[in-house]
């Protein structure tokens, strides 16, 4: 349904979040990009657009940052803003609220079915117990070596 509505617009950049708040799965951005036949870049911390292309800053594990040039139109999964947000004065918010209108878009796709049914959700069952090793560092190191040797890992 979302792709059907956005596909009818002339958007250069479509912004989504990186993860869903309910399951942390984060599939909206990549699936939307696939349905719209647009490139997708996720975990983005900054975007600038010039000359029909976007420069995208992406974050990898360990704080590693990368910069990509991406053709437009595109879908972006936003990780965090490159700068903290600036908050508007409440007087301006009230002024805009009095004059702004929100466009409602009709869609016929109210019967769509995602095809996914959650059958069960449960906490993982603990696989075993932890053994706490006590003593000075040399004693603990000796105990660790003994346990690893006992399990055939040395």
Q: What is the mean pLDDT of each run of 10 residues along the chain (154 residues)?
A: 82 87 78 93 91 91 91 91 82 90 76 69 80 91 93 89
pLDDT of residue 77: 92
The domains of the chain, with CATH numbers, are 2-99 (3.40.50.620)
Mean pLDDT of all residues belonging to the chain: 86
Contacts of 120 (CB under 8 A, 6+ apart): none
* 48 vs 74: CA distance, rounded Å: 12
Gap between the Cα atoms of 44 and 80, Å rounded: 7
Predicted local confidence at residue 128, as pLDDT: 76
Written as one string, the DSSP assignment of the chain is -HHHHHHTS--SEEEEESS-TTT----HHHHHHHHHT--EEEEEEEEEEETTEEEEEEE-GGG-EEEEEEESSEEEEE---SSPPPPPPHHHHHHHHHH--------S-TT---S-------PPPP-S------S-HHHHHHHHHHHHHHTT--
pLDDT digits (tens, 9 = 90+) for 44-63: 999 999 998 999 999 888 88
Which pLDDT value is given to residue 28? Answer: 86
């Amino acid at each position: 349904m979302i792709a059907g509505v956005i596909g009818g617009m002339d958007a250069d950049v479509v912004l989504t979040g990186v993860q869903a708040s309910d399951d942390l799965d984060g599939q909206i951005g990549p699936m939307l990009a696939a349905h719209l036949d647009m490139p997708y870049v996720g975990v983005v911390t900054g975007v600038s657009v010039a000359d029909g292309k976007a420069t995208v800053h992406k974050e990898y594990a360990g704080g590693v940052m990368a910069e990509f040039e991406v053709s437009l139109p595109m879908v972006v999964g936003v990780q965090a803003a490159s700068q903290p947000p600036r908050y508007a004065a409440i007087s301006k918010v009230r002024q805009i609220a009095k004059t702004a209108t929100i466009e409602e878009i009709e869609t016929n796709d109210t019967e769509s079915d995602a095809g996914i049914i959650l059958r069960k959700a449960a906490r993982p069952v603990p696989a075993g117990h932890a053994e706490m090793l006590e003593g000075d560092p040399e004693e603990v190191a000796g105990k660790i070596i003994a346990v690893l040797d006992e399990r055939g890992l040395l």
